[in-house]
Structure 1
Amino acid sequence: MTPPAPDPVRLVAWVHGHVQGVGFRWWTRSRALELGLVGYAANKPDGRVHVVAEGPRRACLQLVELLRGGDGPGTVELVVDSWDRARGDLTGFRER
């Protein structure tokens, strides 16, 4: 899905694959902070990692490409992303 034009945006990504117990949330947090984003990365009981990030559209696009890129820990099989206007309700970037 193409992100909306206005900045800032909210990226919601569901990362599928072997992404728990391998440092994936820490790696995602590090990349998001480097890009100046706020949000979180959370393990889910079904083995996915749920990533929510807000900030400039370009930075969120970079983050989703990094999630898909295969350079992080573990094995990413699929990233399902959706986009919306930022809500402004997040601070910092946390691992949940």
Structure 2
Amino acid sequence: MSSIFNDFFNKGKNSESDGEIVFANDPLKNTTTQKIRADISGRVQGVGFRFSTKQAADELGVTGIVKNEPDGTVYVEAVGKEEQIKDFIERLRKGPSPAADVDKVVVTYDEKIEEKSNFSQAN
């Protein structure tokens, strides 16, 4: 049974999306750790997006949180090294779940984001 789930979620890793990335500000300066907030819109709820986002974060070594918002978007906070965050943002743009269809990822670098010990899903 696990191979069915692996096949399903591995499909999203190579999917092509025309989702747009919008950076609200510049990366944090004078630090090796980047902290971001991301608001993802499109078909991102009810399609395994939070689960697959956590899976992508765990693979990349990113910590933070992902949760659904009442307006149908998904909210992410993530902390990691610059290259990890770049790769993570790209995975969000592609829609880590193959059933997702991402329209836009709005990324805000925010030094006030709390560092977490892992990456988790919230309800």
TM-score normalised by L of structure 2: 0.71
Q: Does 1:82 align with 2:104?
A: no
User: In the alignment, is the contact (CA less than 8 A) between 1:37 and 1:60 conserved in 2?
Assistant: yes
CA RMSD of aligned residues (A): 1.6
- Give the match for residue 11 of structure 1: 36
The amino acid across from 1:11 in the alignment is I
Note the alpha carbon deviations across 1:17-72, whole angstroms, 9 max, x for none. Answer: 11011100000000001110110110000000001110111101110111112453
Larger radius of gyration: 2
Q: How far apart are residue 91 of structure 1 and its match?
A: 1.8
Structure 2 distance, partners of 1:53, 1:71, is: 15
Q: Determine which structure has the larger helix proportion and give its number.
A: 2
Q: How far apart are residue 86 of structure 1 and its match?
A: 6.7
User: In the alignment, is the contact (CA less than 8 A) between 2:40 and 2:74 conserved in 1?
Assistant: yes
Q: Does 1:54 align with 2:79?
A: yes
Percent identity over paired residues = 35
Query: For the structure 1 residues 87 and 43, does the alpha-carbon distance in structure 2 shift closer, same or farther, using more than 3 Å as the test?
Result: closer
TM-score normalised by L of structure 1: 0.89
SS of the equivalent of 1:85 reads coil
Q: Does 1:29 align with 2:54?
A: yes
The alignment covers a number of residue pairs equal to 96
In the alignment, structure 2 segments of 5+ residues that lack a partner are: 1-22
The amino acid across from 2:49 in the alignment is F
In the alignment, structure 1 segments of 5+ residues that lack a partner are: none
